[in-house]
Amino acid sequence: MSGWRETGAMRAIARIARHGALPAAALAIAWIVGLAIHTYAARHDETLRLQDLAGSREAIQGVSIGGVVKDGYHRTTFRVQEGHVSSRTEVLEQPRWTFADGGFGQSGEGKTYTAQREDDGTYKVIVYPTKDGSLVGVGERAYASPSIAYRGQRGPVGQPALANRLEDGIATIGDRVYFTAPVSGKFTGQSGIYELKFYEWWQEQRIDKKEYAPRKLADIDLSANAQGEGGAIEVLGLEAIGGKLALVTAERGALHVRCYDPDTGAELGAIAVPDVRPAAAPDDAAAAGNRAAYEAHPDASRSLLTLAFERAAAGESGRPTTTVLVLDFAGGGIELAQRFDVDMNDGEADTDSAMSAMYYRDGKLYAVKSRREPQNSDTRIAYEWLRPRHLYIYVYDRQSLAYKGELLTDVNDDSIRLVNMPANGSNSVYEQLDYRRFADVSIAWDTDTEGTS
């Protein structure tokens, strides 16, 4: 034969082979679809459990620890009581995008506050109505124009070096909003605490700003910074506790907290902690001992304000620790109720959606913190937000660690696909709809949560 010629038998065999492949393909597709459905459903059947890492679980008897694990499609509310974990999962009717908790302004009472500094030195505060972590309206605005000037070098985008985030200078008491600029020691002049007056966003170009000028409640004298010493006075933040205002500053390197009446602006008391030495600049912080950034956890029902300052590492071998101060505002001024020097630095700070809660009771400090696994030579994860997250529970009795545990979840499974992709632009986009995170973490005495789920 000089060539190949298809016979009728061969054509029949080919047809049978083609049709015989259809059932196999159908089975393969069904298996893939079933696996996808099972995997998606497993996310809604999320289980959480508490793992003891140190001490006895009896240390958390009497407190209730709550929070949420959520993405854009569902949320699992959990609670740890009497050492046991309970949870309830809600599947959202529509996907819901939310901003990262802790990464967008300052939230509370259904509102989120952000702030920005204008080129002319005016500070603008914007308030957005929020629901379940989502913005549900356009924000009102207010402004403050302290008589201060910047003497230092500006950053890469021309902004002056502040001591902390602008949002750290916002405090609320009921519907009243107060602001102070959290400035570094490179600012001079006369600053203050202001009660803001808001206007609608659409009035921005129409209003006479003099009609919405804030009420100056108290003066903050920064003239000592003009003497060339640098860092003489740094304003770290403003807090509200028990119907009073607390101004947090570093003066000559030492921590100071002053209490003010929100109506009259009268100073009601002050306290200094000389060996807690916050500093805004990283080099100054390493030399002084503490970073300027701090955590504030108010207990309004008992007029207690818990402040936490992380110590700056002395070097590669130095491990940062945290100084926690419990301040009592129940009387006419401020008293230091308790001090803790503790280690709560497992991993690194969860920068984009950090969750932290602290609660003080009967000489014990209860804390919950979300942390990321650190970057090291063995870590092949290119992007910080892909590193595994953990939620730790700590209890300190006076200065001793009484308990440490971790709430185990499967949130880190969400990023398995991206972790195993090449480190390029394809896996650098963080879409909050698709990745679960911790939110709304809280600690309360059990009697304070009776009747809640």
What count of other Cβ atoms lies within 10 Å of the Cβ of residue 202?
9
- The answer, yes or no, to whether residue 116 has pLDDT greater than 70, is yes
For 196, the 3-state DSSP assignment is: coil
Give the contacts of 393 (CB within 8 A, at least 6 positions apart): 50, 60, 65, 80, 366, 367, 368, 403, 404, 405, 406, 407
Q: Are 343 and 333 in contact (CB under 8 A)?
A: no
> Mean of the pLDDT values across residues 162-170?
95
Place of tokens 């001090």: 339
Per residue in 338-359, pLDDT (tens digit) is: 999 999 888 777 766 678 999 9
- The answer, yes or no, to whether residue 41 has pLDDT greater than 60, is no
> Mean of the pLDDT values across residues 55-61?
95
Per residue in 422-448, pLDDT (tens digit) is: 555 554 555 667 778 888 899 999 875
Per residue in 291-301, pLDDT (tens digit) is: 899 999 999 99
Residue-level pLDDT at 365: 97
Q: Which helix (H) or strand (E) holds 377?
A: none
Burial 379-392 (b: 16+ CB within 10 A, else e): eebbeebbbebbbb
State in Å, rounded, how far the first CA of the chain is from the last one: 85
Per residue in 273-288, pLDDT (tens digit) is: 999 999 887 766 666 6
Per residue in 211-229, pLDDT (tens digit) is: 999 999 999 999 999 886 5
> Mean of the pLDDT values across residues 403-415?
86
Residue-level pLDDT at 123: 96
Residue-level pLDDT at 371: 87
Residue-level pLDDT at 27: 61
- To the nearest whole number, what is the mean pLDDT of the chain? 81
Residue-level pLDDT at 312: 77
> Mean of the pLDDT values across residues 296-323?
80
Residue-level pLDDT at 291: 86
Residue-level pLDDT at 448: 59
Residue-level pLDDT at 286: 63
* Percent above pLDDT 70 for the chain: 74
> Mean of the pLDDT values across residues 150-163?
83
* Percent above pLDDT 90 for the chain: 49
What is the largest distance, in Å, between two alpha-carbon atoms of the chain? 112
Burial 69-85 (b: 16+ CB within 10 A, else e): bbbbbbbbbbbbbeeee
Residue-level pLDDT at 347: 77
Residue 13: pLDDT band with limits 50, 70, 90: very low
User: Which of 395, 374, 396 is closest to 384 using CA atoms?
Assistant: 374
User: How many Å apart are CA 184 and CA 197, to the nearest integer?
Assistant: 25
Output DSSP code: residue 238.
E
Q: Of residues 155 and 3, which shows the higher confidence score?
A: 155
Q: Of residues 157 and 167, which shows the higher confidence score?
A: 167
Per residue in 380-392, pLDDT (tens digit) is: 565 666 778 899 9
- The answer, yes or no, to whether residue 33 has pLDDT greater than 80, is no
- The answer, yes or no, to whether residue 268 has pLDDT greater than 90, is yes
